[in-house]
Amino acid sequence: MDGQLGYLFAGFAVFWAGLFVYLLLLQTRIRSLTREVDRLEERLADAEADAAETPPRGGPSR
């Protein structure tokens, strides 16, 4: 019986460890993707704002 408990424990340990590692990897990936998407969206928004501020060619600022 005692020897069996080792196998039971190992089985549950593999399940939890596997789940934990999977979620950890996924979390890391989501975080880096989110950061990158936010950064790019900001850059895009800035570029659009710049484009809006820049007066059209031949405008009054010239």
Partner 1 sequence: MRTANRVYGLRWVLLPPLTGMGILAMLVGAVVAAPTELVEGDVQRLMYIHVPSAQAMYLAFGIVFVASIMVLWKRDMRWDAVARGAASVGVLFTAFALVTGSLWGKPIWGVYWQWDARLTSTLVLFLVYAAYLLARAVSDPGDEQAARYSAVYAIVGFLDVPFIVMSVRWWRTLHPQPIVSRLDPQLPGSMLAVLGISTLAIFLLALWLILLRTDTERLGQRLLGLRAAVDRREEA
Structure tokens at 51: 């484009």
Of 24, 44, 49, 54, the residue at the interface with partner 1 (CB under 8 A) is 44
Number of other CB atoms surrounding residue 10 within 10 Å: 10
Q: In the range 23-42, which residues lie near partner 1 by CB under 8 A?
A: 23, 26, 29-30, 33-34, 36-38, 40-41
60 belongs to the binding site for partner 1 (CB under 8 A): no
Q: Rounded to 5 degrees, what angle do the CA atoms 17, 23, 25 make?
A: 100
How far is Cα 53 from Cα 23, in angstroms, rounded to an integer? 44
Residues forming the site for partner 1 (CB under 8 A):
1, 3-5, 7-8, 10-12, 14-15, 18-19, 22-23, 26, 29-30, 33-34, 36-38, 40-41, 43-44, 47-48
